[in-house]
Amino acid sequence: MKVLRLINFLLIIAFLSACGSGGDSGAPLISNPFVESTPTSVLPTAVVTKISAPDVQSAVKDYLQAFQKDGYDSMYNMLSKASREAISLEEFSKKHSDSLNAMSAASFDFTINSSQVSPRHAEVAYSITYHTALAGDIQRSILMRLDNEDSAWKVNWEPMLILPELADGNQLAMEYNAPSRGNIYDREGNALVSQSDAFAFGIQTEQIDYEIINTLVEELGSLCGYDPEYIRDQIDALGAGWYIPMCEGTREEATRLLAINPGGLVISEPYNSRYYFRTGLAPQVVGYSLSISPEDMNTYRRLGYDGSEKVGQAGIEKWAEDYLAGKHGGILRVVSPTGQIVATLGQTPSEPADSVYLTLDSNLQYHAQKAIEFFRGAIVVMEADTGRVLAMASSPDFDPNLFEPNNPNNIGLADLLNNTAQPLLNRASQGQYPLGSAFKTITMAAALESGLYLKDTTYNCQYEFTELPDRVLYDWTYEHCQQAVAAGEFCDNSSTLPSGVLTLQQGLMRSCNPYFWHIGLDLFNFDRRSDIAKMARAFGLGSPTGIGQIEEAAGQINDPATPVDAVNQSIGQGDMLVTPLQVANFMAAIANGGTLYRPQIVEKILPVEGAPKLIFKPEARSTLPIRPENLEIMREALLMVTQNPKGTARQNLLGIQFDVAGKTGTAESGNGKSHAWFAGYTLNGSNPELKPDIAIAVIVENIGEGSEYAVPMFRAMVETYYFGSPGRKFYDFGEIGEPPYTPTPPGGAQ
């Protein structure tokens, strides 16, 4: 038995020794007390690699922030290798963009809730809330899985990371309900823009009946606003076999023309369109609409548009987009790959669009456009006591109906867009010009407020101004004298002789350049070099008027740095720039006693039902920094300009039946002939039977003197305002040469 026990013990020891030989150290787990211990060799220790575990929540935050910014390239770079192999960048980007578009989600918020991390894998739970236009807020809790690849967390992407409902190939689908676009009216409710059946009018030259060609050109000239003789010249130049696009009209106008049936007239089949009446009244103000561009598609889809709508591209159409578009409605659903509805995520009903009423007077606007149609320039008419804009014409203008693809006359769109005369530019609010002598009104204000000049301060106004050490400047009377001599005449009248000794008021009346050069240099030398510039800025020049509803330029008024700068600025030359809207605005302030109002062009915005969402209210911006007695001195001088026999505006205002005041201007353009200016106002506010007083600014580009061109247009506006139409043709200005611009039909013939 003892032997047996010894054998068993030795077997156990042997077994345990064999097991111990596989240990990490290579040494036996239990020493054999019966065997002498001998040293054993030490085995090498195994290498253990530590896996880096960066901040997984920061990685998820970066990914979702990139998603908020449509940063699909950055998001794709954060995907795991396996995910990038499973989906291309293009497919990945489209999936996210389409989902946001379908949801109408313009934005979303997220919150990271928790995370579980091991060295190689992680899971992060986050909440996401999509703010949608048509389905309300959509909130979901989502679990994102990530892998640690090259010491950076990479996303294992799947569609459920956008929305859990997108599992198993499901898609989002929005059923849209969009209201009709709202109309635009003038202040009296006359339609300027509405959805309507329209007809395109043109001339097919081989079909012309030359026995009644006069009827053809007269009717189309009257309807489309073109010179009949120009239309006939086009026909003669092209010969047979051409189509000449003319304009668009309503069903009533088409019916009337068909009843007359002048030979050669072509009238298209009706097409339903957003129609701009009378080939576009105030087109640069009203603007135009276009189909949504591919570049803007995502933006509008996420606002709830289905992408087929037309949207405002300029003017009121753009400014009032939210009102004119109405409230879109829709139902957001989840749809299976086979087209079955899986779930409805949210919905909202549509609401009708609002109508926009402008402050414009259609008749006054029409005649303003007719007044300047043969020229380049602008006319602004506004109520003196409110800032309400009654007319804003910019020439050349354009026909907004050409932007309609279904319009057969759309062939003229390319010519419109490539026209170097820039008809899309609103010269009234965006055109920037030197003001010329009309600026002397502001120089006079600075002179009076300086205390260095009184209304009766005199100056001897001769041909020459020699107060600058290095040059001689000449008055406008000298230039007229030179022209008379060149024509073989004598310098023997008020336009060609020096004005002589003048008071300050008479200096404005005669528009004496040397007097105002003297004022500018005098203030500069008396260490009042910024007085005129400061006064100009106080009159609203050099900064936007704040109209807001249309685009406008700021102009430019700088402090003079040299005596030459001061002299130039004093007569509205040099580096100064103004807009016609700014000029009408400060003339209105002079007329109303010194209040500078914010110009406005929207009268009200009306929903289909309920109270107006917006209604016109006068907004006073500031007060002219002029003492009442000095303002009255200026007003007297501006009245002398129009009523005194020697006033520069008197000749072309003879016989006008209303009291008006203002200032002419002839501004060197630096490019061709001078710009012609007149800015003024009516003085009939004391008569309760008459309409409110108005201020008017007129500029005609590169044409000549303000007294010859701008004053007659000013007169036409006054007469139209009070009588409904001007007393004579706008372009019947006497022997003043041919206008530089002739309106042409929309595009070349084909």
pLDDT in tens, 168-220: 999 999 999 999 999 999 999 999 999 999 999 999 999 998 988 999 999 99
Same structural domain, 216 and 157: no
Flag whether the pTM goes above 0.75.
yes
Taking the C-alpha atoms of 356, 357, 362 and 365 in order, what is their torsion angle to the nearest 10 degrees? -80
Query: Would 512 be classed as within a structural domain?
Result: yes
Cα–Cα distances in Å, from 586 out to 228, 252, 370, 570, 679? 39, 43, 25, 17, 9
Distance CA 563, CA 8 (A): 124
Say which residues have a Cβ less than 8 Å from residue 90's Cβ, sequence separation at least 6: none
pLDDT at 630: 98
- Burial class of 342 by CB neighbour count within 10 A (0 to 12, 13 to 18, 19+): middle
Q: Does residue 688 sit in the same domain as residue 540?
A: yes
Q: Residue 382 in contact with residue 596, Cβ under 8 Å?
A: no
The Cα–Cα gap between 555 and 545 comes to 10
Residue 744 has pLDDT above 50, yes or no: yes
Q: What is the pLDDT of residue 5?
A: 54
401: its two tokens: 């109906």
Residue 549 lies in a domain: yes
Average pLDDT of the residues in 290-309: 96
Percent of the chain with pLDDT over 70: 90
Q: What is the pLDDT of residues 214-266, one digit of tens each?
A: 999 999 988 988 889 989 998 999 888 899 999 999 999 999 998 988 889 99
pLDDT tens digit string along 707-722? 999 999 999 999 999 9
In a domain, 311, yes or no: no
Looking at 139, 167, 195, the residue that finishes a domain is 167
Q: How confident is the model over 98-104, as a mean pLDDT?
A: 97
Q: Are 440 and 516 in contact (CB under 8 A)?
A: yes
Cα gap 565→48, rounded to integer Å: 81
Q: What CATH number is given to the structural domain containing 99?
A: 3.10.450.100
* 398 located within any domain: no
Query: What pLDDT, on a 0 to 100 scale, did the predictor assign at position 749?
Result: 44
Neighbours of 486 (CB within 10 A): 8
pLDDT at 6 over 80: no
Same domain, 636 and 692: yes
pLDDT of residue 240: 86
Q: Where are the beta strands (DSSP E) in 186-337?
A: 191-204, 243-249, 265-267, 271-276, 289-291, 310-312, 329-335
Residue 690 has pLDDT above 90, yes or no: no
Once rounded to an integer, what is the mean pLDDT over residues 17-22?
43
In a shared domain, residues 484 and 596: yes
pLDDT of residue 53: 58
- Whether 557 shows a pLDDT value over 80: the answer reads yes
Q: Is the pLDDT of residue 618 over 60?
A: yes
CB distance 362 to 618 below 8 Å: no
Span 375-381, mean pLDDT? 97
Residue where a domain stops, chosen among 106, 137, 167: 167
Are residues 90 and 230 part of one domain? no
Strands (E), 567-704: 595-597, 602-606, 614-615, 620-623, 660-667, 675-682, 694-700
Task: Give the whole-angstrom CA distance, residue 78 versus residue 70.
Answer: 14
Considering 105, 135, 167, which residue would you say is the last residue of a domain? Answer: 167
> What CATH number does residue 531 fall under?
3.40.710.10
pLDDT, tens only, 491-526? 999 999 999 999 999 999 999 999 999 999 999 999
pLDDT by residue (tens digit) across 37-92?
Answer: 444 444 444 444 444 557 999 999 999 999 999 999 999 999 999 999 999 999 99
Q: How far is CA 382 from CA 119, 522, 700, in A?
A: 74, 35, 18
Are residues 126 and 243 both part of a single domain?
no
pLDDT of residue 740: 54
Whether residues 587 and 457 fall in one domain: yes
For residue 396, whether the previous peptide bond is cis, meaning omega lies within 30 degrees of 0, is: yes
Q: Which helix (H) or strand (E) holds 164?
A: none
Residue 729: pLDDT band (50, 70, 90) is: low
Range with lowest mean pLDDT among 65-74, 305-314, 413-422? 413-422
User: Is residue 195 located within the same domain as residue 111?
Assistant: no
Whether the per-residue pLDDT at 379 is higher than 80: the answer is: yes
**Rounded to whole angstroms, how far apart are CA atoms 750 and 746?**
12
Asked if residues 89 and 73 have their Cβ atoms less than 8 Å apart, the reply is yes
Same domain flag for 198 and 98? no
CB 321 within 8 A of CB 288: no
Let me know whether 484 and 597 are in one domain: yes
Domain membership of residue 229 (yes or no) is yes
How does DSSP assign 224-250, residue by residue? HT--HHHHHHHHHHH-SS-EEEEEEE-
Instruction: Please count the structural domains in the chain.
Output: 3
Query: Is 658 a domain residue?
Result: yes
- Look up the domain containing 442 and give its range: 436-723
3-class DSSP assignment, residue 321: helix
Residues 161 and 244 in one domain: no
**Residue written as token pair 């600075």:** 446
% pLDDT > 90, the chain? 83
Give 81: exposed, middle or buried? Use CB within 10 Å, 0-12, 13-18, 19+.
exposed
The verdict on 150 and 273 lying in the same domain is: no
> What is the mean predicted confidence (pLDDT) over 686-692?
78
How confident is the model over 466-480, as pLDDT tens digits? 999 999 999 999 999
Instruction: Determine, yes or no, domain membership for 598.
Output: yes
Q: What is residue 54's predicted lDDT score, i.e. its pLDDT?
A: 77
pLDDT at 268 over 70: yes
What does the pLDDT average to over 725-736? 59
> Which tokens sit at 533?
């510039």
Q: Examine residue 303 and state whether it is found in any structural domain, yes or no.
A: no
Q: Half-sphere exposure (CA, 13 Å, Cβ side) for 489?
A: 12
Give the CATH number for residue 208: 3.90.1310.10
- Residue 575: what pLDDT? 96
Q: What is the pLDDT of residues 576-603, one digit of tens each?
A: 999 999 999 999 999 999 999 999 999 9
Whole-number average pLDDT of the chain: 90
